[in-house]
Chain A
C-alpha cells in the first residue's frame, strides 16, 4: 500500500518538475542549486546495501540462467540434431525446448514482478530512513 501512495506522489512531482523546466528551460542535472543529498551515506547504509544484495541475489543467477539456456538452445540446434527426435507423435524436442523458452520468459517475468514489490518496499524504507520519502524527492 506504501507503493500506491508513492505512485500518487510521483505524479504530482512530475507536474512540478515539468513546470520548473518550462520556466527556467533547464533540464535535470544542470544548474540545480539546492544542496545535494548525501548519496554516499545512503549508499553505505545498511538498508540500501541489503536492497542491493537482494537484487543481486535474484538478478545475477536468473540472468545467467535465461541467457545460458537461450544460448544452449541455439548451440544445440545449430551444431547438433539432438533435439530432432520425437516428443509426442510428430512434435520433436526442438519445439518443446523452443516453447520451454517461451514459458521460461513468462515465468521469470511473473516471479520478478513479485520480487520487485519487495524491492520497492525496501527502497521506500531506505528513503524514509534518510527522510527523503518526501514528495519532492520521489
Chain B
C-alpha cells in the first residue's frame, strides 16, 4: 500500500462521512430514514439505482470474467440490463403507487393480512442476507488484496463504515454515497476505456482481431462456450438474472425514494443508460486486461479475476490510476452493502416490528428506534456470517439471490397487480413455494455439493444438476400462487378494483 492509495482512500472516506453528517441532520422521521423523505429526483435516483447495481461484483467481477473468459464473461451484463425492462414495464410504477417503504406494503395494499406481510418480509430478508454475505466475503478478500490488510479487519472496516452511514444518515446518506460513487465509477471506467482504446488506435475491428491471438483461448475467446458449457444451466442462470432484478428488495426500495410513478419511471430510464454504457465499457476493460496484463498475472493475483481492472489501471495509468480505481472499488462495496442493510432493516423494523407485532400502532419514536436497532442487528449478523464464511466459496450466492427474488417475489408482485382472483392463500403459497424450492434445489446443486473436496460447501455428488435452479423454481413460484388461490375459496374482487385503480392512476395514495 503506497501513499497515493492512502490519500485517495482517505479523501473518499472523508467525503462519505461529510455526506452522512449532513444527511443525519435531515433524517428525522421513518420516511426520511427509509426513503430519504421520497425527495430524490429522477436522475438522482437513477444514478443511485445504477450504483446499487454496479457492485464490486459487476465492476471488478465482470471486467475480470471478460478478461479470462471473453464473451462468456460479458453474458451476464445482457441479463442485468434487459432486466430493467421488466422493472420498468411491470413493477416500478405500481410499486410506487401502492407501497410506502417495502415490498410487503405493496402486497398488503391488496391483502391486509399479517401472514402475507410476514411471508414477504421473510423472503426479502433471506435475499438480503445472501446478497450481503456474498458482497462482504468478496469485499473482505478484495480489500485484503487492494490494501494488504487482514480479511478480518477488512470485513470489520466495511461493516463499521456501512453501519455509520445507515445508522446516522439513513437512506439520504446511502443514496448520496451511492450517487457519488456511481459518478466516480463512471469516470474511472471512461478513463480506463479511453486508455485501452488508445492502445488499439481507436479501431474496434483491430481490437477484435488482436484479441483472437491475445489469450490462451485463441479464437474461442470471442465466442460463447469458454465458461458456460451446459446449455440448460446457462439458460437457467440467465432467466434468474432477467427476472430477478424486479424482485430484489434493495432495488425495489429505491422506488420509494421518489415522489411519484412518473419520477420512478424516469429513474429507471437514467439507470438503463448508465448501466448499459458501463457494461459496454467493461468489454474494453476486460479485453484490455487480457491483452495488456495477461491472464497469467490476473489469475496469479486472484483466481476469480477480480483484480483485472486494478491491474489494468496499474499497467496503463501507473500508481495514481491504480489507487483511484482501488478507492472507487472500495466506495462501491461500501455503498452497496449500506443499501442492503437498509432494505433488510426495513423488513425487520417496518414489516415485522411495526406492522405485525405492533399492528401499525407503534409511535414514530418507537419506529425510528426499531429502524436503527434493526440496522445494527442486520449489520452485525452479516458481519459475523461473513467472517465465518471466509473460506467458503460463496460467489454463487449473488445469482441465488436473483433466483429467489425471481421465484418468491416476482410471481406475487405480478399476481397482486394483474390477477383479479388472486387471494391471501395464493400470495402466501406463491412466496413460500418460490422461496423453499429455490433454497432446497440450490442446497443439493453443484454450487453447494461438489465431489472435489473444498470446491464447494459440501463434498459429495450433487442431486440436482443445475448450478442455478431458476428454470425450475420460477415456474414453481408462479404455479404455487395459482394452486394456493384455487384451493382457497376466499376472494375480494372489490379490493382488486381499488388496487387496480390506484396502481394505474397513481391516485388515492393515502389510503
Does B300 belong to the interface (CB within 8 Å)? no
Name the interface residues of A13-34: CB closer than 8 Å to any CB of B. 13-14, 16-18, 20-22, 25-32
A88 in contact with B29 (CB, 8 Å)? no
Give B253-295 as 1s and 0s: 1 = Cβ < 8 Å from A's Cβ atoms: 0000001101101101100110010011000000000000000
A26 nearest CB neighbor, chain B only: B360
Does B510 belong to the interface (CB within 8 Å)? yes
Name the interface residues of A66-110: CB closer than 8 Å to any CB of B. 66-67, 70-71, 73-75, 77-79, 81, 84, 88-92, 94-95, 98-99, 101-102, 104-106, 108-110
Q: Which residue of A11, A28, A108 is within 8 Å of B510 (Cβ)?
A: A28
Does A59 belong to the interface (CB within 8 Å)? yes
Q: Which residue of B234, B259, B265, B500 is within 8 Å of A78 (Cβ)?
A: B234
> Are A98 and B78 also in contact (CB < 8 A) when A3-B262, A25-B363 are?
yes
B108 in contact with A29 (CB, 8 Å)? yes
How many angstroms from the CA of A44 to the CA of B500 in the assembled complex? 11
A122 nearest CB neighbor, chain B only: B505
Return 14 A-B CB contacts under 8 Å, by A number. Answer: A6-B506, A17-B510, A18-B37, A21-B31, A27-B100, A27-B105, A70-B78, A70-B242, A95-B222, A102-B81, A102-B276, A105-B85, A120-B262, A137-B510
Does B336 belong to the interface (CB within 8 Å)? no
Does A46 belong to the interface (CB within 8 Å)? no
B153: chain A residues at CB < 8 Å are none
> Are A78 and B112 also in contact (CB < 8 A) when A52-B504, A102-B276 are?
no
B203 nearest CB neighbor, chain A only: A89
Chain B positions near chain A (C-beta within 8 angstroms): 29, 31, 37-38, 71, 74-75, 78-79, 81-82, 84-86, 88-90, 100, 105, 108-109, 112, 204-205, 208-209, 211-212, 222-225, 228, 231-232, 234-235, 238-239, 242, 259-260, 262-263, 265-266, 268-269, 272-273, 276, 279-280, 354-355, 359-364, 367, 494, 497-498, 500-501, 504-511
Give A34-51 as 1s and 0s: 1 = Cβ < 8 Å from B's Cβ atoms: 001101101100001001
Does A118 belong to the interface (CB within 8 Å)? no
A29 in contact with B112 (CB, 8 Å)? yes
How many angstroms from the CA of A98 to the CA of B100 in the assembled complex? 37
Q: How many residues of A contact B (CB 8 A)?
A: 76
B71 in contact with A94 (CB, 8 Å)? yes
A15 nearest CB neighbor, chain B only: B37
Q: Which 3 residue pairs of A and B lie closest in terms of their CB atoms, listed nearest first?
A: A78-B231, A123-B505, A90-B208
B208: chain A residues at CB < 8 Å are 89-91
How many angstroms from the CA of A97 to the CA of B145 in the assembled complex? 36
Q: Which residue of B29, B85, B276 is within 8 Å of A66 (Cβ)?
A: B85
How many angstroms from the CA of A25 to the CA of B510 in the assembled complex? 14
B235 in contact with A108 (CB, 8 Å)? no
A14 in contact with B38 (CB, 8 Å)? yes
Q: Which residue of A32, A43, A120, A132 is within 8 Å of B497 (Cβ)?
A: A43
B224 in contact with A78 (CB, 8 Å)? yes
A67: chain B residues at CB < 8 Å are 86, 242
How many angstroms from the CA of A7 to the CA of B269 in the assembled complex? 18
B494 in contact with A39 (CB, 8 Å)? yes
B85 in contact with A10 (CB, 8 Å)? no
How many angstroms from the CA of A118 to the CA of B252 in the assembled complex? 25
B364: chain A residues at CB < 8 Å are 21-22, 25
B279: chain A residues at CB < 8 Å are 102
A138 in contact with B231 (CB, 8 Å)? no
> Are A116 and B507 also in contact (CB < 8 A) when A29-B108, A105-B85 are?
no
A74 in contact with B235 (CB, 8 Å)? yes
Least CB distance, A72 to chain B, in whole angstroms: 11
Q: Which residue of A29, A63, A92 is within 8 Å of B511 (Cβ)?
A: A29
Q: Which of A18, A94, A109: most chain B CB closer than 10 A?
A: A109
A71: chain B residues at CB < 8 Å are 235, 239
Least CB distance, A114 to chain B, in whole angstroms: 11
A109 in contact with B84 (CB, 8 Å)? yes
Q: Which residue of B85, B209, B222 is within 8 Å of A108 (Cβ)?
A: B85
A133: chain B residues at CB < 8 Å are 507
> Are A63 and B89 also in contact (CB < 8 A) when A37-B508, A73-B78 are?
yes
Q: Which residue of B269, B498, B500, B510 is within 8 Å of A13 (Cβ)?
A: B510
B495 nearest CB neighbor, chain A only: A39
A126: chain B residues at CB < 8 Å are 505
A18: chain B residues at CB < 8 Å are 29, 31, 37
B78 in contact with A101 (CB, 8 Å)? yes
B273: chain A residues at CB < 8 Å are 106
How many angstroms from the CA of A75 to the CA of B235 in the assembled complex? 7
A51 in contact with B259 (CB, 8 Å)? no
How many angstroms from the CA of A40 to the CA of B420 in the assembled complex? 13
A91 nearest CB neighbor, chain B only: B208
A77 nearest CB neighbor, chain B only: B224
A7 in contact with B262 (CB, 8 Å)? yes
How many angstroms from the CA of A11 to the CA of B258 in the assembled complex? 10
How many angstroms from the CA of A136 to the CA of B508 in the assembled complex? 8
A105 in contact with B209 (CB, 8 Å)? no
A40 in contact with B205 (CB, 8 Å)? no
A102 in contact with B497 (CB, 8 Å)? no
How many angstroms from the CA of A16 to the CA of B509 in the assembled complex? 12
Q: Knowing that A29-B511, A92-B222 are A-B contacts, what are 15 other residue pairs whose CB atoms are under 8 Å apart, sorted by A's residue number?
A: A6-B506, A27-B355, A30-B359, A40-B494, A42-B505, A51-B505, A59-B90, A77-B225, A77-B234, A89-B208, A99-B280, A102-B276, A104-B82, A124-B505, A138-B507
A59 nearest CB neighbor, chain B only: B89
A95 in contact with B510 (CB, 8 Å)? no
A105 in contact with B272 (CB, 8 Å)? yes
B89 in contact with A62 (CB, 8 Å)? yes
B101 nearest CB neighbor, chain A only: A27
A74 in contact with B238 (CB, 8 Å)? yes
